[in-house]
Amino acid sequence: MLDVLSKPILVSGSSVSPLEVWYAADAALTGWNEKCFDYLKHFEEAVCKTLGVKYAIATPSCTAALHLALLTIGVGPGDEVILPDSTWVASANPVAYTGATPVFVDVCEDDWTMDPEAVRRAVTPKTKAIIPVHLYGHPCKMDEINAIAREFSLYVIEDAAESMGSLYHGRHTGALGDMGCFSFHGSKTVVMGEGGVFTTNDERLYARARFLGDQAKHPTIRFYNEEVGYKFRLSNLQAAFGLGQMERLEEIVAKKRQVFRWYQEELAGIEGLTLNPELPGIRNNFWMVTPVLGPEIPMDAARVLSQMEQRAVSPRPFFYPCTDLPIYQSCRREPTPVAHRLHERAFNLPSGAEMTWEEVRYVCAHLRQVLTGREEANPITGWLARREKFLRAKDSFPGVEFVNPDFKTMDCEIVVEDIGRLTGKLVEELHQKCGFRRLLVREILQPDGENPKLKQLGFLEQQRVPMTWAGERCIPLLLQPYGEVRAYEAVFAKNFP
């Protein structure tokens, strides 16, 4: 049995730099009163410039953006909207909000997105719009879907929640239909905790959406409203954070694609296992790395998920077909076998933008063992091994609090209740058992108060220094060109003045 981590590898994770933190802090300090919309405007402009669209409206979520898009074109009771059966329920719920009926169709084998031929069969005189979903980051067959929409005079609203940074023949998703909707939920490629954006190239649709999404305010008379409006506005603080993310989009997508390539390399050779598609002319942002189990593998996705969770990996299931949910069972008009097979045979692996090769290797070693039963070498290496060493040893140091340990650089801040305990022996044990190279030491000056004060004492750093014998003791070998050199772990202390 392979060794198992004591702290699980989570299914998603964002990439955040000092840029986003700086923008958010600036918005918190200055983004009020006459500047209360500054970052919102900058964010919307960045979305337009990046995606190549004329208009963008920041919203509280992608669900709100989809709802706004449907309201903008007047979808309501008696109308029908076509969606893929393989999607998160948030794609369908906005249709229900309007009183319209969602109509679900199957997805394609080759890219897991809406089947254009199934769309054509689903069109009726009641159909008002099509919502193609760029599932897990792979763009839909937009040329075919747009052609069907033109033939029947239908609107196309892209659910691009998962596909920020994906390209369809050189064009960004969100710029391919009449309107587009993105998510910036904390699990997505580009994040701001929560948030979304509505995009369009149509000035009429933009004006109507802007009007409805801001309480349907009268253009000239303050506090006078002629229609029921909605509060679909993002906060300036969130927009500031999102601006930094948008400016780093290509960097973040490159990281996601690198993680996918690591998975490809580590899982190569497992018979019957395939990963996310990327059809010709497509750039997939690979939002979620998604293996599919072929018929050669004698287990389903649910069993693999259970086995991986026992190995400190937090995968997640492929989306349920919407027509299997009680709220939408009545919306099934024809079978959706591909959507059902994908739910039964596919699942998502940890796919955070900041995943390391060590984490990917660990996940893949355990997945390979689950699928093949073969034992492999211990996959806990690099910073993961250093973290395990620390987690197993930290409880043996009572009175020492470890703050923000960095297992890549092996730096850590420690707080000690009694500086008298910080002996050379304790420092050596901290280095040997936990493996930290440099410790920033602080002492609690008022441990019993509600707000204990900390005194910064200095650094304790471990280095490998060449040593040689001088009598019965070792001394650093500095300028001596010869001598019996012994690698020796020396601890250097530097106090602050």
Cα–Cα dist 459/494, whole Å: 5
Residue of 7, 49, 54, 188 marked active site: 188
Write down the residue that tokens 């001088």 correspond to: 470
Contact 342, 86 (CB under 8 A): yes
Token reading at 41: 């405007």
348: Cα within 13 Å, side-chain hemisphere: 20
Contact 355, 259 (CB under 8 A): yes
Please indicate whether residue 126 is annotated as part of the active site.
Answer: no
The letter for the amino acid at 72 is T
Cα–Cα dist 462/119, whole Å: 65
Cα–Cα dist 210/71, whole Å: 11
Cα–Cα dist 384/347, whole Å: 24
Taking Cα atoms as reference points, which of 160, 135, 179 lies closest to residue 278?
135
Per DSSP bridges, beta strands 454-470 and 486-495 are antiparallel
Q: How far does Cα 207 stand from its chain's mean position?
A: 32
Cα–Cα dist 97/69, whole Å: 12
Cα–Cα dist 42/245, whole Å: 12
Per DSSP bridges, beta strands 101-105 and 80-84 are parallel
Write out the catalytic residue numbers. 188
